[in-house]
Chains A and B, each alone.
Chain A
């Protein structure tokens, strides 16, 4: 279980997270949604210590991740992250991107790392792209390499930070399909996304945030038909989420 307790984050004048408390069950997939600037990415980035909260604590089981470097490292070893801008190592080929942490962190030999990395790249449909550099790949391919890089470390949980926001619609479909298949195969994740129909299909729980606060945590079928907060109703009407038919057309 991940316990987030009274988390606050200030960036200069703005109060990005305001007393955020939530418990994430690792057996459930969550989607955090909300308008831009609602604090959803910041919350996600706090979970693996890429942001340090101004106050409050995050515990994974009973380990406080901000207590020591070791604790944070332990938390990160079970948690992968996929970024909006892919963040591939620009000087490494696709396969080297995946192998780097396997060699440096998991201490695999070059051959073992190559084997694990190629399995991961094959899984995201990139068996023909091993030796391409990031600048030679399309956005969708880059994001799939980054997913493979994360999966190769066999994390228990993957944090997706707006994985399709930097992609055009066609590539969005290709990446969402990959993520959907992974979730179907049992991958647990917490995703921050603007793709409502995707969130509805993949997530068990929707965490709705607005202006640095969590307004509701609702099972996903219920959220999209009968959200609790009026802000969510308003948000859903703005994002023009009009039920399943349009949603399906968008990504399957």
Chain B
């Protein structure tokens, strides 16, 4: 017998509508991709007890438990409770599963906790952002990556946050061994050169990846006390016009980024096309409609950018328009 279930409510509760009638899958969100091992055991046990014994690892660092009978959802929610509590997410009611599924899980690479190149604590920033914007039905994707390698593929997100450090150079500790120049060339963007046996950094070219600091054998290069970020915006996948996010801000600070993403929700509320399926629309399409300047006006409201922050006056995206023409040439 088909259960009388509100499928739309179910989806908002982070249960997927399965193609197998009568079944669902529970999505466990893992902000920043870091989950306690004991909670992973709990997730596995739910799969054993209520699912089909399998777990699916999602592209956005979630864990999906497939093969759950719809009638078991209340029991599954009960079992999700400790996992939600441990996730430190912004959700007071932990008795009814995950709230809302519009704003997607916040993705992060391992960052400085593990990676030698990570320029900041991606997990902590992802968790802070999670607190700031969850739960929310608006379709927003935010991702964090530790350095310009972009292992977290932040360029496919509405907001892609990339870590930067401003390399500090002490010429008195430099012996012109050339390691920084060599590795900047081979691993980064060739922003360094030796002039009169001391290193000169092209400040415009430098992407703040910190490779020079990692490879300097004498501590002539060190990291700035401040952590900086590059923000890429409005990347997306999808059927119509997939495209990579483009640089909007660089040398921006953490507080400003949180505020900007929060502000963006008001912009979405103002301009979203509610006729879109399930009231969801990639922000980039809204920006295409309103113009980039209008987005900036809303996003930067009451944001005081630091003196080092550079802001792009224009941002241009590309990507194929499949809604116009997709014949191969």
Chain B binds chain A: no
Partner-A contacts on B (CB < 8 A): none
